[in-house]
A and B are shown apart, each in its own frame.
Chain A
Amino acid sequence: MVLLTLMAAVTVGVVRQRNLFGVVILGGIYSFMMASVLMVLDAVDVAMTEASVGAGISTVLMLSVLYLTKSRESVPHHTPLLPLVVSVITAGVLVYGTLDLPPFGAADNPVHLNTAPRYLEKSIEETGVPNVVTSVLSSYRGYDTLGETTVVFTAGIGVLLLLRGRRRKRKARPARPERGSAK
């Protein structure tokens, strides 16, 4: 609960901070706290992935983009009133929705009654893997993981294409001033 409150505090910091470097570092702190919360929620595999991917790779990617661009955010011209109102209304509707949810952590919630017990019972017998997350991920839902790798592959191709075009252009026209600076 303390961790969750700290996470909310960091989020407020992310919203208010205008120095993008600070925003990215706060994002890293946020990811680590998210990983600890996931640990408390028994999702150890997810916590490890979040700590390495969310706090590690994402932060490095963001920092490298900040190196290539500017690290200062300018003040927006329009008022943030309309987005604020929309966000508050969304939050209100969602909180109203939570009032009907089953109690937290009870073993007889509908989530725990359908497919999960079968995985827990048959995992050793059918796959021989004691970690049920692994056996579901790579055995029962292998097609899911195949789709995931397809998405990652496509994203990788996209990044490569975007950044390769950039390098070629710079080589071809090195003296051309950029539009923003020419203005």
Chain B
Amino acid sequence: MIRAVDLRKSFGGKDGDAVEAVSGISVDVGRGEAFGFLGPNGAGKSSTMRMIAAVSPVTSGELRILGMDPAVDGPAIRGRIGVCPQEDTLDTELNVLDNLYIYGRYFGLPRAEVRQRCEELLEFVQLTEKAKSKVEDLSGGMKRRLTIARSLINRPDLLLLDEPTTGLDPQARHVVWDRLFRLKQQGVTLVLTTHYMDEAEQLCDRLVVMDKGLIVAEGSPAELIRTHSTREVAELRFGIGENETVAPKIEDLAERIEVLPDRILLYTQNGEEAIAKVHERGLDPAMSLVRRSSLEDVFLRLTGRTLVD
């Protein structure tokens, strides 16, 4: 469905002052797959998505969407994909049904056909009762569902979702996940960006972690955890200021140790065993727990804990 080889995107000046947002990534997404781009803000996820959506021209490298070249067949590609952008881009002064209807018309679908699809899609995203409401008056979650419904009006082979649940409350997120999961079951290829690890674990069969315009890791969520983290993590709290002094005494107990202001993280295959050894050495943490490694650990390891804007 998507094949990218050494894909690059830069903005701005023609020569030296150009900013490179995507610095040479290669990905392959197959039919029916749910594929995720993870990364902190500014990693190049949205730029990549805009190129895949056949909207933003590729600076260099090769890109094929549904076997077509976006530089040549942009409209044909866009006719067969669905796009759920980061910002809803709805016409807030029109009502819910009108927003859906006019969008269907952009694809050149006959009016009666669009009307019928609108009905089905409003049902699918549970907005049938809101059909005549102005978009302005909808909650964030409802707008997102409408945007998802809109992206499905052309019955796309490939659905692109740029941060589909950012800014939604937990209830709304779960409704969106549920709908996306159903689409996946129907065989729609999903490509999404997110910086929520739970979202990636829930939805993605396979994902890449991007940082500073490059892919830094690739695999299924389980593979990534296996490759880039340990099976378990032991978290120990010794009290403010003590963590740093204790750390050197226990660092040999784990494959990797991380000292944070409020706690120490021991990355290990067996967390209980590590904690037992800590106690054997006469150290008595105020609190300790063992948990499984998560995608979040992988993510933070690969992209760092430093805040990026």
A, B co-complexed: no
On A, residues with C-beta under 8 Å from B are: none
Residues in chain B within 8 A of chain A (CB atoms)? none
